[in-house]
């Protein structure tokens, strides 16, 4: 690997789900080493009411998605019960280009996306009318629901994963100034519970996606070295490159 690449000699540790870990080839192309230790598991919530709820979705004016995980769970339900995108004439609103891309790959059109990929900005800019449904995860904050009046359907749940804790701790000790990337407050809390009792915050650098994740770190008295304006994993890595160039 050429030593003049911007992330040469740097180790980036990813702690999110498979959706966020797709950034690994980009990091490697920039010369960085990638280590993946998921601190969360995403599980679709499956119930006997899924088919009925899918049919009811056709009556909404807007479906709202704020994560790729919600898209994956929704599409899994469509496939299981014989629905497709043509069955849903409603408008689609999303938070984030990756969420939009996931829906478009399954034939859905996007009718609204906020200028900043944040639920707070979404509710400020969204002007949709009519009946709305927010397809959410189990840990989603009430921002969308309160700000839009949308009804809710929890289609996936996020649970802590400790399967990689020992390997993560070993990597943090072995690497020189690794940068740990958090994509959600839940990952921050799992790290705090499982890693910090053995390795203090001050020995590691952190990067975050979004102000909510940054606020989760702040509750532990920690400030990330990077939190880009755009709430995407690629933006995090690009900001890390900029910070490394300045140092």
Measured between alpha carbons, how far is 240 from 236 in angstroms, rounded to an integer? 6
Spell out the domain ranges in the chain.
7-39+161-173+237-247, 43-157
Instruction: Please give the Cα distance from 169 to 17 (Å, whole number).
Output: 18
- Tell me which DSSP letter residue 157 carries: E
Position 21 scores a pLDDT of 77
Beta strands in the chain, from DSSP E residues, in sequence order:
11-14, 33-36, 40-44, 62-65, 91-94, 132-137, 151-160, 179-182, 205-208
Beta partners for residue 207, in sequence order:
181, 226
Reading the chain (247 residues) residue by residue, the pLDDT tens digits are: 566 899 999 999 999 877 777 899 999 999 999 999 999 999 999 999 999 999 999 999 999 999 999 999 999 999 999 999 999 999 999 998 989 999 999 999 999 999 988 899 999 999 999 999 999 999 898 999 999 999 999 999 999 999 999 999 999 999 988 999 999 999 999 999 999 999 999 999 999 998 889 999 999 999 999 998 888 889 999 999 998 888 7
CATH of region 43-157, choose from 3.40.50.970, 3.20.20.70, 3.30.1330.60, 3.40.50.10090: 3.40.50.10090
**CA dist., res. 68 & res. 168, Å (int):** 25
* CA distance to 49, 71, 87, per residue, from 78 (Å): 13, 10, 10
Tell me what pLDDT residue 37 has. Answer: 96
Q: Provide the angle, in degrees to the nearest 10, between the axes of the packed helices 68-81 and 97-105.
A: 20
CA distance 221 to 200: 12
Burial of 150 (0-12, 13-18, 19+ CB in 10 A): buried
pLDDT at 2: 63
Sole residue written with tokens 């300045």: 246
Backbone angles phi, psi at 140, to 5 degrees: -65, 140
């Amino acid at each position: 690997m050429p030593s003049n690449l911007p992330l040469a000699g740097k180790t980036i540790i990813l702690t999110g789900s498979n959706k966020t870990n797709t950034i690994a080839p980009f990091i490697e192309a920039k010369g960085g080493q990638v280590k993946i230790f998921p601190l969360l598991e995403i599980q679709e919530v499956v119930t006997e009411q899924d088919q009925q709820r899918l049919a009811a979705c056709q009556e909404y004016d807007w479906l709202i998605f704020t994560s790729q995980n919600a898209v994956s769970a929704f599409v899994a339900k469509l496939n299981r019960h014989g629905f497709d995108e043509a069955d849903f004439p409603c408008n689609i609103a999303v938070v984030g280009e990756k969420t939009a891309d996931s829906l478009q790959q399954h034939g859905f059109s996007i009718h609204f996306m906020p200028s900043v990929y944040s639920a707070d900005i979404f509710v400020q800019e969204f002007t949709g009318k009519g009946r709305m449904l927010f397809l959410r995860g189990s840990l989603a904050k009430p921002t969308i629901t309160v700000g839009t009046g949308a009804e809710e359907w929890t289609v996936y749940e996020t649970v802590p994963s400790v399967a990689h804790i020992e390997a993560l701790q070993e990597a943090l000790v072995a690497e020189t100034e690794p940068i740990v990337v958090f994509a959600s407050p839940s990952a921050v809390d799992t790290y705090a519970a499982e890693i910090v009792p053995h390795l203090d915050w001050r020995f590691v650098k952190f990067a975050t996606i979004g102000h909510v994740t940054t606020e989760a770190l702040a509750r532990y008295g920690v400030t990330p070295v990077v939190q880009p304006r755009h709430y995407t994993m690629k933006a995090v890595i690009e900001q890390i490159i900029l910070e490394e160039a300045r140092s």
